[in-house]
A and B are shown apart, each in its own frame.
Chain A
Amino acid sequence: MTDKSLLDIRKLRKTFPVKANVFSTKSIPLKAVDGVNLQIRKGETLGLVGESGCGKTTVGRCLLRLYQPDSGRIWLEADPDVVAEVEARDAEREEIEAELQSVFENGSARGQSRKIRELKQKIRTIKAVADRKAAEYDLLSMPAARMQRARKEIQMVFQDPWASLNPQMVVKDLIGEGPYTFGTHRGRTLDRWVNELLDKVGLPKNAANRYPHEFSGGQRQRIGIARALALTPKLIVCDEPVSALDVSVQAQVLNLLISLQDDFDLAYLFIAHDLSVVQYVSDRVAVMYLGKVVELADSRQLYQSPRHPYTISLLSSIPVADPDIRVEGQILEGDVPSPINPPPGCSFHPRCPHRIDPCDKILPELGRDRDGHRIACHNPPND
């Protein structure tokens, strides 16, 4: 881990309970995010792309603890010594968990209840120690008071500008709510700060006393951006900030986001399904498929020489605004499989044109670092 790291996501997992059918009382887990490791550096933009249902939004919401993740750690500007120590304990715990699992799987759980109890006790103690150790830096094991302080550093811009602004509040209060509750600005300074923010996002000063319904979609998204900026965070999670907007307005908002990044020294986690938008703003891009990161690379590298078969076909299925290029690239067959019951092995293998023998059995890890370009694939076609 470099000293430039702002946020470090380790083995993030989130499952949602889904009812097996309308009448059943049992629920089955839907693995929305399944062991995601990502790092966001200071002042950079990390793009997160994937088709609907791949878990990209869930990752973003987990960062703000709008969803409570099942496991994993999210380090915020952590001390590397602490990280190393906690990580060692986590590894130890995982070993015991695996042991416990094997006890259950051998079917000889009966008569071993004492051993099981002991193992469970051990896991609990190790976890408690690790969590206490991590409490200062790990967003997921922070006590409430520390979390409150950490929230100031991470803010979010939501997808739907019609649903994410409270219709009963005027713009001034929408933007000023954060600084007011955190006490960073009060009274007249708060008004001045709100005006400055409105100016930064390109809204007129008289917008301050108007209600959200008086604005168009693009302007509302500007209000949402100003609200996210109000606490001068270090990271803004942008969850599809432009997908609800028209093309011409989309360009305005993208330009705004780019110029604000330099002004406020921000890092973005830019979540979107539109690859051309993502490459336009991102330094690095992570491609997700069914809850896992399948490719992670420098933006330029990813678009010029994608290596994972999913990324390759994703890029070739984007229509290009040039009538002379009629791309007859690989068009993927079939749909994205259900995350409730993902295929064994590599979850992309049923649609993959390059699948080989172990693809349907062994899960590929995100590895093989090549100048920062990492993929999770057994048989990368272009290597």
Chain B
Amino acid sequence: MENVLEVNDLATYFFMHDYIIRAVDGVDFTLAKGETLGIVGESGCGKSMTSMSLMRLIPDPPGKIVHGEVNLKGTDLVKLSEEKMRRYRGNEISMIFQEPMTSLNPVYTIGFQISEVLRLHRDIEKREALREAARLLKMVGMSDPDERVHEYPFQLSGGLRQRAMIAIAMACEPSVMIADEPTTALDVTIQAQILRLMGELKEAKDTSIAFITHDLAVIAGFTDRVMVMYAGVAVEDAPVKELFKNPLHPYTQGLLGSVPVLGVGKLNEDGTRRLLQAIPGTLPDARRFPRGCRFAPRCPHAMKRCWEAEPEMVEVAPGHNVRCYLHHEVVRERKVRNLGAAGRRIAKLQEHDRKKREAKRARAERKENKRDGVS
């Protein structure tokens, strides 16, 4: 499949008075035609800053894209001048924002705001643009579109406002649409409506969507591939089914474990209270990330080397990448297996090493438990 968008090693830093915030710190991903990529993470992990960087909407100063490239159909958006970027924004790449009330202009009618995009990017007359706007509103499922074009954002409910936002984003039929938490501010029943609408439009127009959210459940039903972000970097990236069935990074596992599952009562079978698998601790300070793996302070499997250097992203299964030392071993062992008899011998030695390490870890754990028991 042809890639519409390729993001390579994108990094956006904020240069504050006396410190630097590394909001996005080397993110890579691709988006194929008609594909939906989910970008998940908690607040402050850099997912929104990634999307703002793609749109070149980072407030500069203090923000700056320090390196990396964003290739949209062969054009590097990072290198474009502001003037040229404007021709792309809303035309080839568009965005749906989280808060439909704050992102729509309250003093213009929604008809005007939709036709503004059309008039900017197409040679089209004002009245015709307004007719087109009404057609777009009909497409996003608004009743009486001919009257709605003359209404102001405050006259619409939250769900309808988000529909108007989608109409603006879809106006020029962009090849890439970035949806930054499009349903977070909405109620569940309205969220379901908007998700269904976005799904239908995606099918009809073959748009590629980068769907940014903190809600894993929304991602599960809507996307093809998922990238999990933590503290400015991607930690895992896999096809959606693979990710939910076989999450490999401890952070992804923790994230999935901390979502309450519907339909399970508050008691276990044996009558004890069911507890969620919470991840201890909080996100690291973006001013001072840990030297090694950024998740190490919260990770239940953290080893010595996790504190020393940041792990690389490795491909564990086709299309399944993970940034964790636990899986570096798996990959190396697979390479070793492919080496034949010599490899098997090495593998045996490694197995021995591993057992030794495990025994050591178990000892350390016992010690810790003992200490906990004392205190």
Q: Is A313 an interface residue (CB 8 A)?
A: yes
Pick from A281, A313, A321: contact of B256, CB below 8 A. A321
Nearest neighbor of B282 in chain A, beta-carbon distance: A216
Whether A51 pairs with B187 at a CB distance below 8 angstroms is: yes
Shortest beta-carbon distance, A69 to chain B, in Å?
Answer: 25
Of B190, B261, B262, most buried by chain A (CB within 10 Å of CB) is B262
Residue B120 CB within 8 A of the other chain: no
Interchain CA distance A282-B216 in the complex, whole Å: 22
Among B189, B215, B263, contact of A317 (Cβ-Cβ < 8 Å): B189
Interface residue B240 (Cβ < 8 Å from any Cβ of A)? yes
Verify B266–A279 contact, CB threshold 8 A.
yes
Task: For the complex formed, measure the closest distance between the CB of A53 and the CB atoms of chain B, giving whole angstroms.
Answer: 9
Interface segment, one of B5-13, B272-280, B364-372: B272-280
| B160 CB–A CB distance under 8 Å | yes
Of the candidates A314, A321, A331, the one having the most CB atoms from chain B within 10 angstroms of its own CB is: A321
- Complex interface: stretch among B22-30, B191-199, B352-360: B191-199
277-320 of chain A: CB within 8 A of chain B: 277, 279-283, 299-300, 303-304, 313-315, 317-320
Establish whether residues B42 and A248, one from each chain, have CB atoms under 8 Å apart when the complex forms: yes
A352 at the interface (CB under 8 A from B): no
Q: In the assembly, what is the distance between CA of A51 and CA of B192, in Å?
A: 13
Is A145 part of the binding interface, using a Cβ–Cβ cutoff of 8 Å? Answer: no
Of the listed residues B43, B195, B215, B260, the one surrounded by the most CB atoms of chain A closer than 10 A to its CB is: B260
Q: A279-B265, A319-B218 are in contact. Are A51 and B189 (CB under 8 A)?
A: yes
Whether A262 is near chain B, meaning CB under 8 Å from some CB there, is yes
Q: Kindly list chain B residues whose C-beta atoms are within 8 Å of the C-beta of A324.
A: 241
Check B187–A247 contact: CB distance below 8 A: no
Cβ-defined contact, B189 with A331, below 8 A = yes
B260, A277: Cβ atoms under 8 Å?
yes
Say whether B265 contacts A276, CB under 8 Å.
no
1/0 per position for A319-344, CB-CB distance to B under 8 A?
11111111100011101100000000
Q: Shortest CB–CB separation between residue B203 and chain A, in angstroms?
A: 13
B196 contacts A321, CB within 8 Å? no
A162 to B189, CA, bound (A): 28
A126 interface residue per 8 A CB criterion: no
Whether B278 lies near A320 (C-beta < 8 A) is no
Tell me the complex Cα distance, A264–B179, Å. 44
Which of B221, B275, B282 touches A249 (beta carbons < 8 Å)?
B282
Given A251-B276, A319-B195, A322-B244, A332-B189 contact (CB < 8 Å): yes
The interface bits of chain B over 251-268 (1 if a CB of A lies within 8 angstroms of the residue's CB, else 0) are 000111111111111100
Contacting pair B261 A321 (CB below 8 A)? yes
B221 touches A320 (CB 8 A): yes
List of B residues within 8 angstroms of A250 by Cβ: 258
Instruction: For chain A, give the interface size range.
Output: 35 or more
Distance in angstroms between the alpha carbons of A247 and B217 in the assembled complex: 11
A320 CA to B264 CA, complexed, in Å: 13
CB of A255 within 8 A of CB of B262, answer: no
Contact with B along A223-247 (1 / 0, CB 8 A): 0000000000000000000000011
Identity of the chain B residue whose Cβ is nearest the Cβ of A313 in the assembled complex: B189
- Cα distance A326–B215 when bound, in Å? 16
B188 within 8 A of A: yes
B23-39 contacts to A, CB under 8 A, are none
Near A by CB (< 8 A), chain B positions 120-167 give: 157-160
B residues less than 8 Å from A262 (CB atoms): 273
Decide if B249 is an interface residue (CB 8 Å cutoff).
no
- Which residues on the B side are within 8 Å of A335 (C-beta)? 157-160, 190
Q: Which residues in B have their C-beta under 8 angstroms from that of A333?
A: 193
Q: Which residues of A contact B189 (CB under 8 A)?
A: 51, 313-314, 317, 331-332
B314 within 8 A of A: no
Residues 339-352 of chain B, each 1 if its beta carbon lies under 8 Å from chain A, else 0: 00000000000000
- Is the pair A247, B266 in contact by a Cβ cutoff of 8 Å? no
Question: Does A218 interact with chain B (Cβ within 8 Å)?
Answer: yes
Query: Beyond A303-B262, A321-B259, is A273–B217 a contact (Cβ under 8 Å)?
Result: no
Judge whether B187 and A276 touch: CB under 8 Å.
no
- Residues in B with CB closer than 8 Å to A283 are 266
Of A45, A252, A273, A327, chain B has the most CB atoms within 10 Å of the CB of A252
Measured between alpha carbons, how far is A66 from B283 in the docked complex, in Å? 35
Chain A residue, CB-CB nearest to B195: A319
A246 partner residues in chain B, CB cutoff 8 A: 42-43, 214, 283
Contact residues in A for B221 (Cβ distance below 8 Å):
319-320, 323, 325-327
Ranked nearest first, the 10 interchain pairs of A and B with the lowest CB-CB distance are A251-B258, A317-B192, A251-B278, A246-B42, A251-B276, A248-B279, A51-B187, A319-B217, A280-B260, A252-B278
Interchain residue pairs with CB less than 8 A apart (30): A51-B188, A246-B42, A246-B43, A249-B282, A251-B260, A251-B276, A251-B278, A252-B278, A258-B266, A258-B275, A259-B275, A273-B188, A276-B259, A277-B260, A279-B262, A280-B276, A303-B265, A317-B189, A318-B188, A320-B217, A321-B217, A321-B261, A323-B240, A324-B241, A325-B220, A331-B189, A332-B189, A335-B158, A335-B190, A336-B187
Interface residues of B (CB under 8 A from A): 42-43, 157-160, 187-193, 195-196, 214-218, 220-222, 240-241, 244, 254-266, 273-280, 282-283
